[in-house]
């Protein structure tokens, strides 16, 4: 799969359902993070969520849009991530009309479960990078703002 063109996808997401002028000033845009928040992989999951939340707090608003981060736990039962929970997290993100990006799980196998779900909804999925880096990429794409001119340099995501 070729690298995700975040600027293009974010531009489409911001324009969809927002009228001709795009998203309204003060509108909320949401970045979902799915990570193991319990169990043996908790440290990596918490780092991913904390990094994304901290960067979003630091930025606050982007181009007049409120940037929010929602962290979802990808673990069940014994504190291990499951394909069912990862899929449910991805579906939850696709059901939120404010979603502009999905930061996938630290484990590549888990991202293979969530990627087709968010791709089908044309939501940019970032994986294999830190939460702060992912939010910085989202912010850069929002600031680039022109969906007709996707910028490859905006995103460092795995293909």
Query: Please, are residues 69 and 31 in contact by the beta-carbon 8 Å criterion?
Result: yes
Residues 24-79 have pLDDT tens digits of 777 899 999 999 999 999 999 999 999 999 999 999 999 999 999 999 999 998 88
Cα 34 from Cα 90, distance rounded (Å) = 8
Residue matched to tokens 């039962």: 77
Domain map of the chain by residue range?
6-17+38-141
Mapped onto helix, strand or coil, the DSSP state of residue 1 is coil
Residue matched to tokens 């992912």: 134
The token pair that represents 112 in the structure block: 């293979």
Residues 95-138 have pLDDT tens digits of 999 999 999 888 888 899 999 999 999 999 999 899 999 999 99
To 10 degrees, the CA torsion angle through 37, 59, 140, 136?
-30
Q: What is the pTM of this model?
A: 0.79
């Amino acid at each position: 799969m070729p690298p995700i063109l975040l600027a293009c996808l974010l531009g489409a997401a911001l324009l969809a359902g927002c009228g001709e002028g795009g998203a309204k000033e003060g509108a909320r845009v949401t970045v979902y993070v799915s990570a193991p928040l319990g169990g043996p992989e908790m440290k990596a999951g918490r780092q991913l969520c904390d990094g994304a939340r901290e960067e979003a707090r630091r930025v606050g608003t982007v181009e007049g849009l409120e940037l929010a981060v929602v962290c979802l736990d990808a673990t069940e039962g014994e504190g291990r991530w499951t394909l069912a929970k990862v899929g449910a997290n991805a579906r939850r993100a696709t059901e939120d009309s404010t979603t502009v990006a999905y930061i996938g799980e630290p484990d590549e196998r888990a991202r293979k479960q969530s990627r087709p779900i968010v791709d089908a909804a044309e939501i940019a999925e970032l994986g294999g990078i830190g939460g702060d880096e992912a939010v910085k990429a989202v912010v850069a794409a929002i600031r680039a703002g022109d969906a007709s001119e996707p910028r490859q340099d905006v995103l460092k995501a795995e293909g």
